[in-house]
Amino acid sequence: MNILVTGGTGYIGSHTAVELTNAGHTVILLDSLINSSEEVVSRIQQITGKRLSFHRIDLRDYTATNQLFIANSFDAVIHFAGLKAVGESVRKPLDYYENNLISTLSLLRAMDNNGVTKLVFSSSATVYGDPGVTQYTESLPVGQKISNPYGQTKYMIEQIIRNYSASRPEFEASILRYFNPIGAHPSGLIGEDPLGVPNNLMPFIAQVAAGKRSKLSIFGNDYPTPDGTCMRDYIHVVDLAHGHIAALNHLKPGVVTYNLGSGTPTSVLQLVTTFTTVTGKDIPYEFATRRPGDLPEFYADPTKAYKELGWKTEKTLEDMCRDTWNWQSKNPGGYI
């Protein structure tokens, strides 16, 4: 298939582009490069041995987006593009609502105008808010008690996709709710390259290991968990990429939602300990006060994805740590 990948030079988009290309698909990358580097394109080509078409376009620009659709015959779209930092979204809510919502509306209009009916959307477990349980199933209510604008935009986009689908019986969409993607491609050529201070735990751990940061702050050690630190469901980014291919291969008319996670919670201290064991790198850390809105524990119930898509995680926590360090040590300055 001829597949447009929006946000294609980002962390998850780039890994998915690799796996799609390796699976025999033709991939066209679109990205504004607001939070990524064009160097990613050459890295993907190096891994796959295939040339990829890249277009620097801001999806909010409908004219440019529509022209890209007119010039190409896309069979499907995988939509990653959007701002994604939870903390930043609290500080800059208007930026998140404008970027994430308008870009998606522009994309759907271009798809509609050009008869493209297949979509896989990158959503998030944040849409569940705080449902009062620790293991999340797709049947849980969404849109309630979401504590940040990032999660709200994901929830709103899910509703937009459902409303659009109701008006187009031929439309086929899969909404994938991620838990905590970490790791990197085993080659070490592509990985997570945060700008400034990392918003996520694993890149911060890797930067401490590399000596870029002096120590890790662990927010809270008095949660009702075995070691007092928060527990999350970590998933290797390559496993996540395979989940998108599985969803793409099982599209059918209507909208279907899947959790993509391992189904196994890991605490912050467990992740730190595993990273040290795998890499031999000591991670100095200190405990800090809890962050507002952090839940003690949440993780996926991935049963539906396994039953309907035949997908499950294959990579271990050790793989995630090993591949993260391989990326960090080979690329101390990221894609610079």
Amino acid at 115: G
* Sign of the CA dihedral running 3, 259, 151, 11: negative
Contacts of 224 (CB under 8 A, 6+ apart): 296
Rounded CA separation 35/37 (Å): 7
Beta bridge pairs of residue 122: 176
Strands 180-182 and 172-178: unpaired
Going by C-alpha positions, the residue among 252, 318, 306, 324 that lies closest to residue 137 is: 306
Amino acid at 62: Y
CA 239 to centroid of chain Cα atoms: 11
Going by C-alpha positions, the residue among 11, 13, 4 that lies closest to residue 53 is: 4
Query: Cα separations (Å) of 278 from 85, 138, 271, 275, 334?
Result: 28, 34, 11, 5, 21
Candidate list 150, 164, 178, 258, residue with the active-site label: 150
Q: Is 249 helix (H, G, I), strand (E, B) or coil?
A: helix
Query: Cα separations (Å) of 293 from 87, 133, 140, 174, 219?
Result: 10, 15, 19, 28, 11
Q: In angstroms, what is the C-alpha Rg of the chain?
A: 19
Going by C-alpha positions, the residue among 71, 43, 73 that lies closest to residue 57 is: 71
Rounded CA separation 175/69 (Å): 22
Whether residue 234 lies in the annotated active site: no
Strand boundaries in 179-275, DSSP class E: 180-182, 216-219, 231-236, 254-260, 265-267
Which residues does the annotation mark as catalytic?
A: 150
